[in-house]
Amino acid sequence: KLRLEIPISGEPAPRVVWMKGERVILESGHRVRAETYGDQTSLTIEVTEREDTGNYKIVLQNEAGEATASVK
């Protein structure tokens, strides 16, 4: 199991998008799940597989702009 937890903040509250490569990770996947709650966002992979290898990116957007971070 892999879980990345990131604290988030912004005014107004940012929209959070998790991506693997150029593909958006949907919030309601069975094995891979992206969730945002309060001032935290997380990406969870319940059972990691070789296909999970790659670049992951989080994008935060609000009226003030955009911020990104990535992990490989």
Structure tokens, 64: 């003030």
Say if residue 60 is exposed, middle or buried (CB neighbours under 10 Å; 0-12, 13-18, 19+). Answer: buried
Q: What is the pLDDT of residues 13-59, one digit of tens each?
A: 999 999 999 999 986 778 899 999 999 999 999 999 999 999 999 99
Q: Which residue did the predictor score with more confidence, 27 or 12?
A: 12
The answer on pLDDT for 2 being more than 90 is yes
Backbone angles phi and psi of 50, in degrees to 5: -55, -35
Distance of alpha carbon 32 from alpha carbon 6, whole angstroms = 16
Q: Per-residue pLDDT for 9 more than 80?
A: yes
pLDDT value, residue 30: 81
Report the CATH number at residue 63: 2.60.40.10
Q: How many domains does the chain have?
A: 1
Domain assignment of residue 63, given as a range: 2-71
What is the per-residue pLDDT for 28? Answer: 72
